[in-house]
Structure 1
Amino acid sequence: MTVPLDTALSYQCFLSDRVRAAKPSEVRKVFRAAQRPGMISFANGAPYLGGLPFDRLAEDAQRILQSRAAEAFQYGASDGVPELRAHIVDIMRLEGIEADAADAVVTAGSQQALDIAARITINPGDVVFAEGPSYAGGMAVFTSYEAEIVHVPSDADGLIPAELERLSAEVRAAGKTAKGLYTIPNFQNPGGVNLSVERRGEVGRICRDQGLLIFEDNPYGLLGFEGQTLPAIQPQFPDITFYFGSFSKMFAPGLRLGWVLPPAAFRGELVKASETAQLNPSVFTQLLMSAYLDDPAWRDTLDTYRALYREKYQTLVETLSAVMPAGTAWNAPTGGFYLWITLPEGLDAEQLVYECIERGAVYVPGTAFYTDGQGRNKMRMSFCLPTLEQIRQGAAIIGEVFREALASR
């Protein structure tokens, strides 16, 4: 059949089935609606960058261009430059992971790493378990490869192991293939909770017994308000765990650098898939990131951010306590970027977000973090980027909208 390419709808026939079946991201819909000057955004999980040593970074960049320009602007190793992988190993050691620099694979952010891992492991129809709620971008990766997401209930100590075991049995009884668990064990996005140390072992044992892979996504592990870190799942279960790290939250997202530490048996296939996706990550940005990490002062900068995020979190909670309607509840994160809020019965966060946007403030409705329609009375507020004054002003706007909506019921 010949289809004229100049018709408004004709392009649809060229799209793959998986693209046509994909649902629009609620997060992206909110971001598009909120793109106007003066908007106070609690929607974007973007780090504050004001404390970075930009002068020193400029000097590092100049030195790289003067001494290693030909290398920096050339193709590089598909799994990353050796000096950055050595730093990555040192960073992972802070959470109990022992690995060789040759084991890690550098990618253009951990989002790409997750995509590559899903590409080599997920078949259409496979089931991937994920916390309920879970990171929208992670779920988008797995659903793009036509996986089914099954949410595992969580509480203040993270994912509930008994529920994972129960759901895994139900999935297998239904004749489906359960492939893996996607988890953010530290300062989870969007729930803000930590998977307890005891549960990390329980979850790993269940996955091993049930033949599940573990996709351990850890962009926030070094962002505890008091500098605390928890041991990763990977050291106990290295043969089934893909561990994902990122420089986007602990440093800056603009360099687009992350990594994956795959199970040894998967590394060759993962590197081949990475080559297909990008040939190699940017050599220049890797050298710049490595130069930044050469100076131990990066840890002092990280401490500065931890203290700042703690102050912003406390300011948000203090303001919400004064402005939100009675019956509103939220978690108490000890690090990370996010506050997860439950609204009083009858309030719909997805409906009310657009009224908040009209008045100048935006959050992300809870439905964005589930694939099964849950979360209408939930919302995520990210406190990392707004100033303290913006936090007070924006939270006051949101509280006013919710109080009015509750009074009008």
Structure 2
Amino acid sequence: MSQEFTIDDWSAGIRSAKSSEVRKVFAMSAKPGMISFASGMPELRSLPLDALADIASDLMRNRGNEVMQYGTFTGTDHLKDQLIELMKIEGVENATRENTLVTTGSQNGLDTLARVMIDPGDVILAEAPSSSGAMAVFTGAQAEVVHVAIDHEGLIPDELEETIEELESQGRRIKFLYTIPSFQNPGGTMMPQQRRDRIREICAAHHVLIAEDNPYGLLGFEGQTTRAMRADDENVVYLGSVSKMFVPGLRVGWIVAPDSLAKILGLQSEAAVPNPSVFAQEVVAEYLEKYDWRSVLDEYRVLYGKWAQALMDAFDEHMPDGVTWTRPDGGFYS
């Protein structure tokens, strides 16, 4: 007879966790005929599956004993080198093999950061609204999420400064600001450079770490990008993912962190995931190194831009007076 477990058997972190809204949405989206505007899945029709099959086949035939084996817990140097080059598109020149950690998707990276940084009752600042997946991580870590208002250009610096000062006056402990500055999820906003600089200044003055989640930064509909916040401050924690710009099924993400924090993140990551899949990492690395992935990304940008414009046209035609919305220039959940 199976033993019955109740809430009294669970950890405090699990007792405080809430069911993911993302899970509920995906369950609804699976119903026949349902078109969901709440969840997002990459459109993979442009994905060069034949080329990926060739990459995978070559890896298995020529490097099978290597890619099917355990690897290092921080990720392969081959993939790190490709990611370091990739981030230079957004101005990040301060990423190294030593401060870059490969994760099993971006969510795993955020969970690792939360486990290292958060004690029960700590405050995490986040945009209002923000990613439901991130909020689930922070709630599970028993943090209190304090939201800061956004407008059509993203997080509002004056609101952030006022919130920080109010929390400090209460003696509250702020662990970090979680922000998605480029094509924010779910707001679709792109934070301009001047505002990014101001937010970095505010956080530096108050000794608040910034966690910059950037899975959508290369998805500008016209190919436009903005300097990552990490590019101008090596104390910013940068979280990246290949899920939106390439493919989600391989579950490859990464973190770039200040050197001292990167070491601790690596130790925590090793405890949960002794090593990310070497095979998945090398498929991504080979793709980025040897395939014309930029042309595929261009196809994604054009397609997502058409979809966004179709939605904007429908809003213009059907929304009643008084309703406003963001007009995104890129992204995935626009």
Name the TM-score class by shorter chain.
over 0.9
Cα offset, 1:5, TM superposition: 5.5
1:220 and 1:34 map into 2 onto residues whose CA distance is 22
Identity of counterpart residues, as a percentage?
A: 47
Match of 1:328 among 314, 323, 328: 323
Match of 2:142 among 106, 121, 146: 146
SS of structure 2 residue aligned to 1:41? coil
Determine the structure 2 residue equivalent to 1:176: 172
Cα offset, 1:243, TM superposition: 0.4
Determine the structure 2 residue equivalent to 1:403: none
Paired AA for residue 58 in structure 2: R
Give the 5 Å matches for 1:4-403. 6-7=3-4, 10-98=5-93, 99-239=95-235, 241-339=236-334
2:142 and 2:173 map into 1 onto residues whose CA distance is 13
CA-atom RMSD, angstroms?
Answer: 1.5
Would you say the 8 A contact 1:122–1:179 is kept in 2? yes
Cα offset, 1:32, TM superposition: 2.4
2:58 and 2:291 map into 1 onto residues whose CA distance is 18
Matched residues, number: 333
2:329 and 2:269 map into 1 onto residues whose CA distance is 35
SS of structure 2 residue aligned to 1:255? coil
1:200 and 1:112 map into 2 onto residues whose CA distance is 25
Which has the greater radius of gyration? 1
Deviations 1:179-227 (A, max 9, x none): 1100000000000001110011111111111111110000000000010
Q: What are the ranges of 5 or more consecutive residues in structure 2 without an aligned counterpart?
A: none
* Length-normalised TM-score, structure 1: 0.79
Paired AA for residue 135 in structure 2: M
* Length-normalised TM-score, structure 2: 0.96
Deviations 1:240-263 (A, max 9, x none): x11001000000100000000011
1:205 and 1:331 map into 2 onto residues whose CA distance is 26
Paired AA for residue 145 in structure 1: A
SS of structure 2 residue aligned to 1:181? strand
2:304 and 2:283 map into 1 onto residues whose CA distance is 25
2:179 and 2:100 map into 1 onto residues whose CA distance is 19
Runs of at least 4 residues off by over 6 Å: none
Paired AA for residue 18 in structure 2: K
User: Measured at CA, do residues 148 and 60 of structure 1 come closer, stay the same or move farther in structure 2, by a change above 3 Å?
Assistant: same
Would you say the 8 A contact 2:25–2:39 is kept in 1? no
SS of structure 2 residue aligned to 1:86? helix
Q: What are the ranges of 5 or more consecutive residues in structure 1 without an aligned counterpart?
A: 340-409
Paired AA for residue 252 in structure 1: V
Cα offset, 1:77, TM superposition: 1.0
Paired AA for residue 73 in structure 1: M
Paired AA for residue 323 in structure 1: H
Deviations 1:130-174 (A, max 9, x none): 111111111111121111111111111111111111101111111
Would you say the 8 A contact 2:16–2:142 is kept in 1? no
2:99 and 2:264 map into 1 onto residues whose CA distance is 13
Deviations 1:107-136 (A, max 9, x none): 101110111111111111111111111111
SS of structure 2 residue aligned to 1:256? coil
Would you say the 8 A contact 2:99–2:263 is kept in 1? no
Would you say the 8 A contact 2:98–2:259 is kept in 1? no
2:111 and 2:92 map into 1 onto residues whose CA distance is 22
Paired AA for residue 75 in structure 2: G
Cα offset, 1:31, TM superposition: 2.8
Cα offset, 1:175, TM superposition: 1.7
Would you say the 8 A contact 2:107–2:134 is kept in 1? yes
1:30 and 1:82 map into 2 onto residues whose CA distance is 37
Would you say the 8 A contact 1:85–1:102 is kept in 2? no
2:240 and 2:304 map into 1 onto residues whose CA distance is 20
SS of structure 1 residue aligned to 2:237? strand
1:17 and 1:249 map into 2 onto residues whose CA distance is 33
Would you say the 8 A contact 1:179–1:211 is kept in 2? no
Would you say the 8 A contact 1:128–1:147 is kept in 2? yes
